[in-house]
Structure 1
Amino acid sequence: ARNPSLDGDEVTLAYRRNRLMNTYSRIGVGLGMLASAALGGLTVEQVHAQAKPPVYFIGEIDVSNPEGYAKEYLPKAKEIIKAHGGRLIAAAGAAGSGVQVIAIDGEAPKRVVIYQYPSVDAVRAWRNDPAYEQVRKIGEKYAKYRTFAVEGLPQ
């Protein structure tokens, strides 16, 4: 039923306005659906990431020559570690960091390092990298190593 108080131009204008509002509503619903899907995907990714915790590489290092160790070994080793996804979490003791290892029970090692890696495979890839094997030979002139990796717990 047509409103007799509206002339033809007003009816056309009202019709167009109504149609435009419907279009905007549909666009809004579509954008909302896209945003929900994107957020849902991020949530799934976060859950997956939590299911696979990082791996921590721990090194107890008996440094006999801190200067040689710091100058000849460390810069090259850090570069290769980083290339394999290793991220330094803590380092203390010999080699000029100024941070000391604190003994709680027993004797503290001269140097301790803790690196975080995305996986055990990343730790193994770093340790077996021929470039690191060469650098490690340099490090062994200045230090003795005791190293191991520990898988993190899901958070």
Structure 2
Amino acid sequence: MHSHVKIGLAALLGFGMGAAAMQGLRAQPHPPAYVISEIEVTDADAYLRDYVPLANRALAESGQRRLVSGGRTVALAGAPPASRIVVSVFDSLEKAQAAYTSPAYLEARRIGDRYGRLRIFAVEGLPQ
């Protein structure tokens, strides 16, 4: 085989392998994001009546999947947990940030801040 044919075949093969590798990288999903909310509720009746329905509505179309919502908690090490814990999962950190900075959620949060102290943070999970 002539050397210029070998070089052409090698270049074509290299291009094909590079294109396949790029497609594989693009196909990898973003790692999920977990949002942890620690809430020290100061007025349980008003919190459940005024804040929770608004927050649920604001987050309903965000892709949020709630994993924990106020269940029993136990301290294993360190300071005891807040009186209410909520854990949610989103498809990505960007989607979690968008949900919790949306105008609808920020309005709900203004109301929630009257009935409790909320600490909310997101952590990027491991790729699934």
Aligned-pair identity (%): 33
Q: Verify: 1:52 aligned to 2:30, yes or no.
A: yes
The one-letter code matched in structure 2 to 1:102 is V
Task: Provide the C-alpha distance between the structure 2 equivalents of 1:54 and 1:130, rounded to a whole number of angstroms.
Answer: 23
Q: Moved runs in structure 1, 4+ residues, more than 2 A? A: none
Q: Of residues 49, 53, 60 in structure 2, which corresponds to 1:71?
A: 49
1:100 to 58, 72, 78: 72
Deviation, 1:53, is 2.3
Amino acid at match of 2:62: H
Larger radius of gyration: 1
Matched, 1:118 2:91: yes
Deviation at 1:127, TM superposition (A): 1.6
Deviation (angstroms), 1:66: 1.0
Q: Distance in 2 between matches of 1:59 and 1:87?
A: 14
Structure-to-structure mapping, 1:1-155, within 5 angstroms: 48=27, 51-92=29-70, 99-105=71-77, 106-155=79-128
Question: May I ask how many residue pairs the two structures share in their alignment?
Answer: 104
RMSD of aligned Cα (Å)? 2.0
Quick one: which amino acid aligns to residue 90 of structure 1?
V
Structure 2: give runs of 5+ residues left out of the alignment.
Answer: 1-22
What TM-score results when the alignment is normalised by the length of structure 2? 0.73
SS in 2 for 1:83: coil
Q: CA deviation at 1:82?
A: 1.9
> Does the 8 Å contact 2:74/2:80 carry over to 1?
no
Aligned-residue offset at 1:154: 2.0
Relative CO higher for 1 or 2, CA cutoff 8 Å, sep ≥ 6?
A: 2
